[in-house]
Structure 1
Amino acid sequence: MRKAALLRPKVNMLAWLSACLLVILLPAEAQQTDTFHIPLPSKPQLRWQKYERIMFVHFNPTTWTGKEYDDHTLPLSRMNPYLLNTDQWCEVARSWGAKMILFVAKHTGGFCWWQTNTTDYCVRNIPWRNGKGDVLADLSASCRKYGLGLGVYIYPGDDNWGAGIGSGGRTKDPAKQEAYNKVFRQQLTEVLTKYGPMQEVWFDGSCVIDVSDILKEYASDAVIFQGPQATIRWVGNEDGIAPYPNWYTLKSSDVRTGVATALHSDPDGDAYAPVEVDLPLLKNGGHKWFWAPNTDHLLLNVDQLMDIYYKSAGRGAVMLLNSTPDTTGLIPASHAKIYKAFGEEIRRRFEKPIKTISGEGYEFIMAFNKPVSINHAIIREDIAKGQRIRAYVLEGYANNAWIKLCEGSSVGTMKIDPFPEKRLEKVRLRITEAKARPVLSSFSVYDVRGYETTGLSSGSENRTITIGSWDANTFTDEWKEMIFDLTPYVDHIGQYEISFRMVTCDWSKDWGLEFKDWDVEMYGRMLPEAVERVGNSWTFRITRSQQTDKPDDFPTRFHISIRSKPGRTVGTIDFRRIRY
């Protein structure tokens, strides 16, 4: 017994020494431990995020007036969507990969598309189906039929009660507030109990009426958009663009305000509330949420939609793309054609990866039997375990050397990384910073043909790529010198533009960026005459006029000092070659 007792310390000491040696030999990134608190998504949040694409449906008296705001000038006798077919809506949604439909059951004007006795301004009093129709009932049945989730937008206010746009349900006349509260609570209860289960509840502009008990009882399986019970956030624009990095966490105090946006993201936040990116399809030179005659010229084209897809779902957000049934009740054929082509393009690019791997760790390597052409990668975290990755580098192996393809910060549900095409023998993903051991549900690489047209607003050859980003903490009131390596992108003789594009900001303060001391390093020296600011914009034009054997014989680096005004901003740094 005594001998065994004497040996035990030796065994423990050896184990201790082995552990120390292991720590010393491990790469620094692999030594990271689970020292951070990692907020996790709820089951409704997790399901919603995995949907990736959702179809909004805006249908209202304004559909008949051609306006965006219901001014109550339309006689209800004119509202007869005689061809209305919610199966067609579901078919359109599925054509572009949407997994849920979010229906505007009641907008600011107060018109209700379900059978309710809370108001006369509703489907009961229009000619369609002799006042017996119920769009929510039809849509609920269609969504079940087509395997789609269903969400509802129910505006907290109502013009008929003096609680108009932006009110959150607060009446102008305080004496009416209590009565209206009862009306809205009844409407919300009807929608959630008769047509559910709802998977998303939208309170546009927040909700000042206490409905916490109703949501707890009837919408516990739904994500909530805005309001004190919010579990997801508005991106802060209607352009279809999420900021990058796109963090899912923020402070609990910000969530409880009911109006937190992507600007409030904090990678160290204690609350989990991912971002939704909403945009109209009628946005090509305009901005319409409701159908109107002669507006097909406003339809986004497939190239534009793909650019938006990369910058929304491709940055880990949920893309909420609108649809606009016309006065017949159908989504117009010209619109349906665009959705179908959009879905086909997503599938063409990403349905068949060259290779996919998954697992846990800080380094993932793919090897190929022979060199293959690669120009895209898609990384997906297993977000059931939280958003863990904070920084990564993607590298390719060719000619006995590793070369950097791209780098990034946040990943989340999906990060799409396009990069200049390379023929590679291997690809390596290195997680250089993480809150805890990274867990990937998938890491895939692709050879996408014809993607160069991504982001076009016309038939031109211009292509914008995102080479960086900033968040609300990147710039302060102190000047900060920045250096951007443009060597991989300045690959031809010609002119280029680097643009600082704001995605969202703190509108309550004087916001903006200020610039000074811009310069460009080219041909081995500083060349101030080769760079100019475009007016007072946040865009700078660089001219490469001298030919070398290879564009990267000499680095091209853009130098600039930047500071922020009091209102902090979030944005992306975009780069393009100017073509005509």
Structure 2
Amino acid sequence: MTRIHCFLIAVTVLSKSVFSQDVLPVPSQQQLKWHQTEFNLFLHFGPNTFTDKEWGEGDEPEDIFNPTRLDCRQWCRIAKAAGAKGIIITAKHHDGFCLWPSKYSKHTVRESKWRNGKGDVLKELSKACKEYGLNFGVYISPWDRNHPDYGTEKYNTIFMNMMKELFTQYGPIHELWWDGANGEGPNGKKQIYDWKAFVSTVRSLSPQTVIFSDVGPDIRWIGNEKGFAGTTNWNYLNTEGFTPGIGAPPTDTLNTGNKHGAYWIPGECDVSIRPGWFYHAHEDDKVKTPEQLFDIYLKSVGRGSVLLLNVPPDRRGLIHKNDSAAIMAFKKLRQQLLPSAGIIENSSVNDFAFRFQKPEAFNLDDKTQTIEISDFEDNYISADFKKPIEVNCIVLKENLGKGQRIEEFYIQILDTANRSYFIKGATIGHKRILTFPKIKTQLIILRITKSKGNPMLLPFDFYLIDDKLVEKE
């Protein structure tokens, strides 16, 4: 049975499909599509791969970049098989080395011996992403420790021209990633970035691209590099007076967002599968386990964010077998523990029923499968099972197209001895995965206690996962 059937059994007679007004701000269509991706790969790749550095100095000889077996199709095959929806590549890191033959730099693949200076990593990756149906994204650091014009007004124009190359030669680009780092260039000067002009350039070239930085304008950094969103995680953020980098809001604000934020700027959780961001051979035995990745998943996607997992190619230009094995096993864990059909969807009509304390206060939209709950403070939804089930995971979702609304909720679970267990939560957002010690139950009650306007819930479900993988603080 499908989710929509589950809801229709209980609320067909209530279906009006006329919802209350949106709670502003609401996401753009591009942001909504980004929310749906949930999981993407980050690929840190460049001279640092060959120097064993994390931040290059900018004076590395171009010939050091020589991935003799580079295969972007291998990257995409692995990303697709692991369930990622896209790839973001470090087209230019702080060292200034460009993975494409930019005419605005002399520190590029063109000057290297790789493929006799005729290679173009971005060209190969964008083509492979199209072949495998993956979103193509680009990280480009405005800091440039190599370019002689860094630290002058001229450099801002150069940086914008580089972005024009990216969009006109390698698009479509789904997500553009800006690092706010701002150190000294080769002349000892720091750059005053023209962020307003940078944003305007991207908007004019590719309005469908979502832009990431500490303060958006479309996606924000989550405030840490561990991959964890806040247990309270608003998609709203106030950005007045803030800039990317050292001018960003405090990390705890980035982690939770602003409850009354003026802009829709959701958080993205970036984390590396290894201790470092670039490939280092001495870290081959330090790849995160599938279980560790699943815990990160619960604390990122499971808290309403998107997970951006860094899997750096090695010196051959291939994803190492240890990294590949880990993310494949991670995919298997997600499929086994959180399949598309949970306990409800695997139940028959006679196994359970949704019940509503005040049926007249529920409004179902058949098309979007959204339930609007009016008079929610004195209302609740219950799931009654005729036979006891074991559960330790509940997945809730909001219809974000109507704005993020739910501020507080709790779930009451009655065990077979009629004892009540309460799981309290704050925000839900795109997806909230709640895990807890296993309980045998026949009755689960969801009550929204605080919301900005009427709650707008999407179908939810229950799961029984390995108790050892219940979220750890």
Structure 1 and Structure 2 fold alike (TM over 0.5): yes
Measure, in 2, the Cα distance between the counterparts of 1:282 and 1:212.
Answer: 32
Counterpart-to-counterpart distance in 2, 1:90 and 1:225: 22
In the alignment, which residue of structure 2 is the partner of 1:350? 338
> 2:193 is matched with which residue: 208, 211, 225?
208
SS in 1 for 2:225: coil
1:254–1:93 Cα change, 3 Å: farther
1:381 aligns with 2:404: no
Following TM superposition, the consecutive aligned residue runs of length 4 or more in structure 1 with deviations greater than 6 angstroms are 33-36, 255-258
User: Contact 1:380/1:414 (CA < 8 Å) preserved in 2?
Assistant: yes
Q: CA deviation at 1:420?
A: 1.7
The amino acid that maps onto 1:77 is D
Q: Does residue 1:444 correspond to 2:461, yes or no?
A: yes
**Which consecutive unaligned segments of at least 5 residues does structure 2 have?**
1-18, 182-191, 346-353, 355-368
Alpha-carbon contact 1:306-1:454 (below 8 Å) kept: no
| 1:122 matched residue in structure 2 | 108
What SS does the corresponding residue of 2:203 show, helix, strand or coil?
helix
Match of 1:52 among 29, 38, 45: 38
Distance 1:441 1:381 in 2: 5
Quick check: 1:383–1:413 contact (8 Å CA) kept in 2?
A: yes
Amino acid at match of 1:43: Q
1:496 matched residue in structure 2: none
SS at match of 2:193: coil
Partners of 1:36 and 1:435 within 8 A in 2? no
CA shift for structure 1 position 154: 0.7
- Three-state SS of the structure 1 residue aligned to 2:96 is coil
1:403 to 410, 420, 436: 420
CA RMSD between the two structures? 2.4
Deviation of the 1:36 alpha carbon: 8.9
Bigger Rg, structure 1 or 2: 1
Aligned-residue offset at 1:276: 0.9
Matching residue of 1:282:
274
Cα separation, partners in 2 of 1:38 and 1:143, compared to 1, 3 Å:
same
**Pick from 135, 139, 143: which aligns with 1:157?**
143
The correspondence of residues 22-421 of structure 1 with structure 2, limited to 5 A, is 37-72=23-58, 74-161=60-147, 171-172=150-151, 177-205=152-180, 208-209=193-194, 210-226=197-213, 230-253=217-240, 259-260=248-249, 263=253, 265-283=257-275, 288-351=276-339, 352-355=341-344, 359-360=370-371, 361=373, 362=376, 363-399=380-416, 401=418, 403-421=420-438
TM-score norm. by structure 1 comes to: 0.67
How far is 1:422 from its partner? 1.4
Read off the aligned partner of 1:194 and give its amino acid letter. Answer: Q
In structure 2, distance between residues paired with 1:269 and 1:72: 38
Q: Which runs of 5+ in 1 are unaligned?
A: 1-32, 164-170, 456-463, 465-573, 575-580
Deviation at 1:56, TM superposition (A): 0.4
Deviation at 1:37, TM superposition (A): 4.6
8 Å CA contact retained: 1:118, 1:183:
yes
Check conservation: 2:23, 2:404, Cα contact below 8 A. no
Deviations 1:414-450 (A, max 9, x none): 11111121121132211111112212222110011x2
Deviations 1:337-385 (A, max 9, x none): 0110111111111013101586412433223241111110010111111
Deviation at 1:256, TM superposition (A): 6.3
> C-alpha displacement at 1:75, in angstroms?
3.0
In structure 2, distance between residues paired with 1:48 and 1:222: 10
- Report how far residue 275 of structure 1 moved: 0.5
| In structure 1, distance between residues paired with 2:431 and 2:449 | 18
Tell me the matched-pair count: 409
Q: Percent identity?
A: 34
Partners of 1:371 and 1:423 within 8 A in 2: yes
The alignment partner of 2:77 has SS state of helix
Q: Which has the higher contact order (CA 8 A, sep 6+)?
A: 2
8 Å contact kept, 1:393–1:404 = no
